[in-house]
Chain A
Amino acid sequence: MQHTATISRMKAAGAPPRLSAFAQWADRHFKWLLVAPAVLLILALSIYPLLFSMVVSFINYDFQVPGHAFVGVKNYERVVFDPVARWSLVLTACLSGLSVAIEFVLGLLVALTMVRSFPGRGVIMSILIVPLFISPVIVGQAWTLLLQRPFGPTNYILTQLLGQEVTIGWMTESPWLYVSLIIADVWQWTPFMFVILLAGLTAISPNLYEAAELDSVNAWQAFWAITVPHLGPMMLLALTFRLLDAIRMFDTIFIMTGGGPGTQTYTASYYLYTVGFTQFHLSQATAGSWLFLIFTALVVMLLVRRLLKAEPV
């Protein structure tokens, strides 16, 4: 241990030099200056465009019809009465709901297998998260390579496994193209569920399970009595975040099916994209995107409210 020598008073260093007028001003408004760049950027590239699109949705803004006349709610009517628009909304709900449900169950199962540590866990962990860092475009491309006829090996493998000729048009025939899209989504995003749920699972104290084991509770009962309640907030969070991203589904469709055949794989985003950027009915697309925005906002309000109440750790 050190010992203090004689202490004597030093010369006072005094207060630091006075600040310049600018520095004083900056110090006083420090907190607002820090948020300013981010807030201005978001205002400029998110809020301003939204307001602008609000205007556009009520006027004529169409590369095929000249002039910018006020047209009232006609753009909205066009979307609402377009059967393709309604179909795309239904498809968006079904595809995203189904994908997220599968991702959730699969992610939870995989997370359960990974809770306890075992040799090689770190490496497996690193492999399992890889899809999260890949562009959805590439994911679509990868599954195209696997599924596309005649090049893809999938039909060949199925033929060998089932012992009978399989010739499915994975990206052209009706139920199968949805299966393909869901598989691609599940492949990319199951790790998302897995990572979050695993974090939640590892946070549950093992003592709880040991206590349950002493009470001779079986694994299934322990899952419902301990895991589910403790994991609840985390599940809600994972589902919310994932669902809000899933309803934007666009990239894989663009690559794998191009919305087709016909309009069979039009999701909301894809529909609006085609209206806006291949047919150039920009004001109609804008009106549609406002409607979609309102749907999303409703979902956000419902889910995020719940989430904030649940207060995850």
Chain B
Amino acid sequence: MAEVRITGLHKRYGAFHAVRGIDLDIRDGEFTVLVGPSGCGKSTLLRTIAGLEESSEGTIEIGGEVVNDFRPRDRDVAMVFQDYALYPHMSVAKNIGFGLKARKMPKPEVEARVAEAARMLGITPLLGRFPRQLSGGQRQRVAIGRAIVRNPRIFLFDEPLSNLDAQLRDEMRGEIKRLHQAIATTMIYVTHDQIEAMTLADRIVLMRDGVIEQQGTPLDLFERPGSTFVAGFLGSPRMSFLPGTLTLGGSAAAIRLADVLLPVAPGRKLNGATDGQKVLLGLRPEHLTRAHAARPAQGTFRYDATIDLLQPTGSRSYATFRLAGAPVMAELQAHDVSRPGERLPIDINMNRASIFDVKTERAI
């Protein structure tokens, strides 16, 4: 049980600056997901917390204690690796008990704990096997067992699911979530998969090029992305971005996209915006629906669209059409639309739309 505080953390590999100034507070028992594109420094950050990399600058505190000079063994954390890193020359039981043995725990207690951990994970029949005799999912469980048997202060995961096939991945994702709910230990989880991030996290820390781009609850980041990068990274299919001009003149603000004028939802704050500012309008597919009501609800804008491309997924169909020349995707009910070329009235929910400055790519 421990909180983690990272202050001004930098990591350089020679001339290469992998982590460039991270400040992060993780509360006790929180499930934090570090997410971001490959190479953005997530693993480096995680490994620095574990003590496997030395920081170049900055401090790391675990449980209120600066651990910069602690060996990995003295930090009392556990880590699950992408390739599981099971010891191939040891049985499953030995693998799970290895950390306890390193603690000079008496043998009977080690055995009792290993048995208990195996029971909880449902791998009791596998205890005598060797890692090479296990399937991917079973290895994953052993790797987790190796961690829970110690009840460490923090769990660290580095892309633990990326070597599993899709179905197993969904299943194990649920298991990890359940694990956290049951033991409520601080967990820090690295992934590049936004769905994993959204489903698992109490808090998402979205990284880009060695810095934190934005952090907050999953819904926070999803609904109020701070930048086009965050908006584009979270959510699938991706948010559509439409270039336009902000007009503040008169009573209501609006965004002009070529020949279309979209009124900004009334009451939406436009901090620091100027008249004539070049902006990007960000619309997620679920912000666009087929119009059924006679007149659009407040804050929605109705548009007669001609569908270019239709991608049915079963219950939903993703329909792409052009809005003032730029492609936009709408998420429609399957029965709302039948074929490309169809003309439909689409309601655009401007209450949920995001507006970004073109140059800074920051949200307005």
**Chains A and B in contact, CB within 8 Å:** yes
Partner-B contacts on A (CB < 8 A): 1-17, 27
Given pairs A7-B120, A10-B116, 12 additional interface contacts (CB within 8 A): A1-B171, A4-B120, A7-B179, A12-B1, A12-B152, A13-B100, A13-B105, A13-B150, A13-B151, A14-B103, A15-B103, A16-B104
Is B137 located at the chain interface by the 8 A CB criterion?
yes
Chain A hits for B364, CB < 8 A: none
Sample of 15 A–B contacts (CB below 8 Å): A2-B123, A4-B178, A4-B179, A7-B120, A8-B182, A9-B182, A9-B183, A10-B116, A10-B150, A12-B1, A12-B150, A12-B152, A12-B153, A13-B150, A17-B103
Tell which of B71, B153, B185 has the most Cβ of chain A within 10 Å: B71
Contact with A along B133-148 (1 / 0, CB 8 A): 0000110010000001
Complex CA distance for A122 and B151, rounded to whole angstroms? 53
Are A10 and B117 in contact (CB-based, < 8 A)? yes
Residues of B within 8 A of A8 (CB): 120, 182-183
Contact status A7-B183, CB under 8 Å: yes
> Chain B's nearest CB lies how many Å from the CB of A12?
4
Interface positions of B from 163 to 205, Cβ below 8 Å from A: 171, 175, 178-179, 182-185
B137 lies within 8 A of A1 (CB)? yes
Q: How far is the CA of A301 from the CA of B148 in the complex (A)?
A: 55
Least CB distance from A7 to B in Å reads 4
List chain A residues, Cβ under 8 A from B293.
Answer: none
Chain B residues numbered 90-125 whose CB sits less than 8 Å from any CB in chain A: 99-100, 102-105, 113, 116-117, 119-123
Q: Is the interface of B mostly helix, strand, loop or mixed?
A: helix
In the A-B complex, the 10 residue pairs with the smallest Cβ-Cβ separation, listed nearest first, are A2-B122, A7-B182, A13-B150, A9-B183, A12-B151, A15-B76, A16-B103, A10-B151, A7-B120, A3-B122
List residues 322-347 of chain B with CB under 8 A from any CB of chain A.
none
Q: How far is the CA of A15 from the CA of B116 in the complex (A)?
A: 20
Question: Quick check: B74 and A15 within 8 Å, CB to CB?
Answer: yes
- Nearest CB to that of A2 among chain B residues? B122
B residues less than 8 Å from A5 (CB atoms):
119-122
Given contacts A2-B141, A7-B120, A27-B71, contact A14 B76 (CB under 8 A): yes
Given the known interface contacts A2-B123, A2-B138, A8-B120, the answer about A13 and B103 at a Cβ–Cβ threshold of 8 Å is yes
Counting residue pairs across A and B whose Cβ atoms lie within 8 Å, the total is 73
What's the nearest-Cβ distance from chain B to residue A17, in Å? 6
Give the CA-CA distance A10 to B122 in the complex, in Å: 16
Chain A, residue nearest B71 (CB): A27
Q: How far is the CB of A26 from chain B (nearest CB, A)?
A: 12
A17 to B103, CA, bound (A): 6
Chain B residue with the shortest CB-CB distance to A8: B182
A15 to B71, CA, bound (A): 11
Collect the chain A residues with CB atoms within 8 Å of residue B137's CB: 1
A13 to B117, CA, bound (A): 13
Query: At the interface, yes or no: B149 with Cβ under 8 Å from chain A?
Result: yes
Inter-chain contact A6/B122, CB cutoff 8 Å: no
Distance to closest chain A CB from B102 (angstroms): 5
B73 to A16, Cβ gap below 8 A? yes
| Interface range for B | 35 or more
A7 touching B148 by the CB < 8 A rule?
A: yes
**B75: interface (CB < 8 Å):** yes
Question: What is the bound-complex CA distance between A4 and B141, given in angstroms?
Answer: 9
B74 touches A11 (CB 8 A): no
**B153 — which chain A residues lie within 8 A by C-beta?**
12
Chain B residue contacts of A4, Cβ below 8 A: 120-122, 175, 178-179
Tell me the nearest residue of chain A to B171, going by C-beta.
A1
Residues of A within 8 A of B102 (CB): 16
A15 and B76 alpha carbons, distance in the complex (Å): 5
Min C-beta distance of B39 to chain A, whole Å: 24
Alpha-carbon distance A15/B178, docked complex (angstroms): 25
Minimum CB–CB distance for A312 against chain B, Å:
24
Complex CA distance for A1 and B137, rounded to whole angstroms:
8
**Which partner residue on chain B sits nearest A24 by CB separation?**
B71
A2 to B122: give the CA distance in the assembly, Å: 5
Bound CA span A17–B138, Å: 31
Bound complex: CA A9 to CA B75 (Å): 19
Contact in complex: B73, A15 (CB < 8 Å)? yes
User: Hey, which chain B residues are within 8 Å of A3, CB to CB?
Assistant: 122
A2: chain B residues at CB < 8 Å are: 121-123, 138, 141
Task: Write out the residue numbers on chain A whose beta carbons fall within 8 Å of the beta carbon of B71.
Answer: 27
Tell me the complex Cα distance, A16–B71, Å: 11
Query: Within the complex, which residue of B99, B120, B138 is in contact with A13, where a contact is CB–CB below 8 Å?
Result: B99
In whole angstroms, how far apart are the Cα atoms of A278 and B122 in the complex?
A: 78
Considering the chains assembled together, what is the distance between the CA atoms of A1 and B105 in angstroms? 31
CA A4 – CA B117 in complex, angstroms? 10
B157 to chain A, nearest CB (A): 16
Task: Name the B residues within 8 Å of A12 (CB-CB).
Answer: 1, 76, 150-153
B121 (CB) vs chain A CBs: closest residue: A4
Whole-angstrom CA separation of A9 from B113 in the bound complex = 11
Q: Point out the residue from B74, B113, B138 that lies within 8 Å of A10, measured CB to CB.
A: B113
Contacts of B113 in A (CB 8 A): 10, 13
A186 to chain B, nearest CB (A): 44
Interface residues of B in 296-345 (CB under 8 A from A): none
Residues on A with C-beta less than 8 A from B123 are 2
Assembly CA distance A125 to B93 (angstroms)? 43
Known contacts being A4-B178, A9-B185, is A17 close to B105, with CB within 8 Å?
no
Contact A10 B104, beta carbon cutoff 8 Å:
no
Bound-state Cα–Cα, A128 to B311, Å: 63
